[in-house]
Amino acid sequence: MIMLIDSHAHLDMPHFDADRDAVIARAREAGVVAILTLGVDGISSRCAVALAQQYEGVFAAVGIHPHEAQHATPEDYKTLMGLARTRETNRIIAWGEIGLDYHYDHSPRDVQRREFRRQLRMARELDLPVCIHSREAHDDVLTILDEEKAVEVGVVMHCFSGDEQVARRCLDLGFYISFAGPVTFTNARKLPAVVTLVPDDRLLIETDAPYLSPHPWRGREHRNEPARVAIIAARLAELRGVASEVVGQRATENFQTLFKVPSAG
């Protein structure tokens, strides 16, 4: 039986309200032993914690997404810090998702950078690894992560979208690289080369569910779900010339190492 993890999902989203139990059950049947569900603002971070308390194998991350950066209030941060200070009860294993998104620019870039740095400092204070969203902002993201010494708590670049050069810089800085649905897209040009570049001990896999459905579900079925991380593992295995089980095993071990969770299988 293959062992898998989903290092990045948003189980709190309303897309799952009608059948969340079944979605999580399907993930377990597919071999997924752990799912990290991440907050994007104060409310979804609280929901992530509630889900982690409700479902075995589900863990929470709290944080403010760059899209929401300009709406974050001191109250939000107080709540997140409070939740994270009692991380065992709240089953919080990471801070995120945080980062910079210069594609959508939903928040002004200077505000995004300010809130990103603020949260990296909080994560360091709490000694929590960080889950990073970087879209068309790799230079600034890597500079800030480096300056804020984020590697000391552990870093994963979620849904990696950079080229080989960016990947090399991330690896040099000591970060993990996580691949999602886009690696399966038939028009994924740069990603296959990046996949073969990442060593076994830095590799993670994720769905970013309900977003980013992998091929062949892209477009056909809009909603993605954690069980489909098996498709990501199979694609990575194909590109790396190993069995899916090997990718699943490595990703599971890396998940346990980075997030300091006891052996989930």
Q: Write out the residues near Zn ion by the rule CB under 5 A.
A: 133, 208
Q: How far is the CB of 158 from Zn ion (least distance, A)?
A: 6
In the complex, what is the shortest distance from the CB of residue 28 to Zn ion, in angstroms, rounded to a whole number? Answer: 21
Give 87 or 133: the residue with its C-beta nearer to Zn ion.
133
Rank residues 97 and 148 by Cβ distance to Zn ion and give the closer one.
97
Question: For Zn ion, which is the closer residue by CB, 112 or 249?
Answer: 112
Kindly state the smallest distance separating residue 246's Cβ from Zn ion, in Å: 26
User: Smallest distance from the beta carbon of 206 to Zn ion, in angstroms?
Assistant: 8
Instruction: Provide the minimum distance between the beta carbon of 245 and Zn ion in the complex, in angstroms, as a whole number.
Output: 26
What does each C-alpha distance from 3 to 27, 76, 102, 235, 265 come to in angstroms?
A: 11, 36, 35, 15, 7
Query: Phi, psi at residue 52, to the nearest 5°?
Result: -65, -35
224 vs 254, beta carbon nearer Zn ion: 224
For 112-121, which contacts have Cβ atoms below 8 Å and span 24 or more sequence positions?
A: 112/66, 112/69, 113/140, 113/144, 114/69, 115/64, 115/66, 115/69, 115/72, 116/66, 116/69, 116/141, 116/144, 117/144, 117/148, 118/77, 119/63, 119/64, 119/95, 120/144, 120/145, 120/148, 120/150, 121/148
Closest-CB residue for Zn ion?
133
Q: Is 171:199 a contact under the CB 8 Å cutoff? A: yes
